[in-house]
Amino acid sequence: MRSRQRMFAAVMRLLLKCLRLGRRRRFKLVRQVEQLWHYAHLCLRSLLYNSFTNGDVVLDSLFEPVYWLVDHVTRWFGVVFVALVIGLTSSIVAIVYICLLPLILQTYTPAWICWHLAYGHWNLIMIVFHYYMAITTSPGHPPQAKNDLTGISICRKCITPKPARTHHCSICNRCVLKMDHHCPWLNNCVGHYNHRYFFSFCLFMTMGCIYCSISGWEMFRDAYAAIERMKLLEKERLQVAANQTYYQTPPPTFSFRQRAFHKSVVYLWVLCSSVALALGALTLWHAALITRGETSIERHINRKERQRLQKKGKVFRNPYSYGSWDNWKVFLGVDVPRHWLTRVLLPSPHLPHGTGLSWDLPPCVTEQRAPLLAI
C-alpha cells in the first residue's frame, strides 16, 4: 500500500514539473514576441522621428538585410571568383600553347612569329604580375591609435581615425585608404596601395583579349564552319546507319583530336571577345575617373557636392585633381620620362605617391591645384 502511494506521489510530482516547464516555455516565447514587437516599433519610430528622414533613408533601412547578405556572400565567394579567374586564364593560355602556337610556327613568316612571341609573352607577364600584386597587396588602412592623426574625422562603424579619401568597407569590415571599391574578382579592396595594380591588370587583360580575338578571327571562322560540318556529317551518318545496305558506306567522321581543336578555338574566341567587351568598358570607366582625379566613391560624393554648390551659384573644384596629364603621372608614379618604360611598360612594384593619410602636392605635378570652391 505504501509503495503504491509513493509511486502515485512520484507521478504527480513529475506531472507538476512538466506543467511548470510548459508554462516557463510559453512565458519565454511570449517575452520574445513582445521584445521583437517593441524593437520593430522602436525602429519605426526612429525612422519617423528624425526631421531629416527622407525616402533614401527609408529604402536603405529596408534594404539593410539585403546589404548584409550581399556583404557576407561576397566575402565568402571571393575565393571562388579568384579561382575562376585563374582557371579561365590558364585554359586560354593552354589552348594558345597547345593548339595555336604550333600552327603559327608552321604558317607565319619569321617576322610575324617574332612579333607574336614577343607581344604575347610580354602581355602575359604583365597580366600575371599585376593580378598577383593586386591580390596580395594590402590597399592600406589608417592607424588604430587616435593620437597619430589630428584634425580628421572618426569612422562611425569601426571607431578609428578616418583621413581624407578614406572609406569603410562593409565586406572587409575595415577602413581603407583612398578606397575605390571592393572587387570580388580580387577578393580584396582596391585602395591607395593596389589601385594601380588593379587598373593595370584590367588594361593588360583587355589588351590580351583583344589581341587573341583579332589574331584568332580567321581560325574561329574555320573552326566554326568545321563544327557545323561535323554536325551535318553526324546527322547523315545516323541516317545512313538507320537505312544501311551492303552498297552504302557511312560518311567519314572527325577524330577526337580534330573535334577538340575546333571547339577549343571557338571557346577561346568567344571567351576573349566577351571579356574584352565587359572588361574594356570597365577599364574605360576607371580611365575616365583617373583622368578626373577621383575614385568610384568620390564620383558620387563630388556629383552631390557639385549639385549642392550649383544651387548656391558656386562651382565645385576637386581638390585632388591636378589636371588630366598630371593625374595620370601621379597615379602611375611617373616622376621622370624613363619611368614610362620602367614603371608602366615593365613590371614595377614601386609605391604610390604619399602615404594615403595626407595629400600633399606630388613632386611630379608642375602646376598648383585649383581651390576647392570658386565663385
279-308 pLDDT, tens digit per residue, is 999 999 999 999 999 999 999 888 888 888
- pLDDT of 124 > 70? The answer is yes
- The per-residue pLDDT for 202 is 97
pLDDT at 30 exceeding the cut of 50: yes
| Cβ proximity of 333 and 196 under 8 Å | yes
Please enumerate in sequence order all residues whose Cβ is within 8 A of that of 101, keeping only pairs 6 or more positions apart, or say none. none
HSE-up (13 A, CA, CB side) for residue 172: 22
Task: Round the average pLDDT of the chain to a whole number and report it.
Answer: 82
- According to the model, what pLDDT value does residue 96 have? 92
- Where are the chain's structural domains? 61-368
Helices 110-136/64-95 angle, 10° precision: 150
- What is the distance between the alpha carbons of residues 40 and 18, in angstroms, rounded to a whole number? 33
User: What's the pLDDT at 374?
Assistant: 37
The rounded distance, in Å, linking the Cα atoms of 209 and 205 is 6
Instruction: Let me know: does 193 contact 356? Beta carbons within 8 Å.
Output: yes
CA 164 to chain centre: 23
CB contact at 8 A, 71 and 157: no
Question: Where residue 52 falls among pLDDT bands split at 50, 70, 90?
Answer: low
Is residue 251 over pLDDT 60?
no
114 given a catalytic annotation = no
DSSP label of 294: -
Residues 183-196: tens digit of each pLDDT: 989 999 999 999 99
Q: Quick one: pLDDT at residue 149?
A: 58
Query: Is the model's pLDDT at 367 over the cut of 50?
Result: yes
| Per-residue confidence band for 342, with pLDDT thresholds at 50, 70 and 90 | very high
pLDDT bin (cut points 50, 70, 90) of residue 11 is low
pLDDT value of position 373:
39
Tens-digit pLDDT profile for residues 205-241? 999 999 999 988 988 998 888 888 887 877 766 665 5
Q: In the prediction, which pLDDT does 289 show?
A: 96
Q: What residues pair up with 183 in beta bridges, in sequence order? A: 188
Q: pLDDT digits over 73-109, tens only?
A: 667 788 899 999 999 999 999 999 998 888 888 888 9
Cell numbers 624613363: residue: 338
CA distance 96 to 268: 9
pLDDT range class, residue 347, cuts 50, 70, 90:
very high
pLDDT for residue 143: 85
Candidates 99, 175, 183, 202; catalytic one: 183
Give the pLDDT of residue 8: 61
Q: Which three cell numbers stand for residue 16?
A: 507538476
Give the per-residue pLDDT at 268. Answer: 94
Helix residue ranges, H only, the chain: 2-49, 55-62, 64-95, 101-107, 110-136, 195-215, 217-242, 256-292, 296-311, 324-332, 339
Q: What pTM, to 2 d.p., does this model score?
A: 0.77
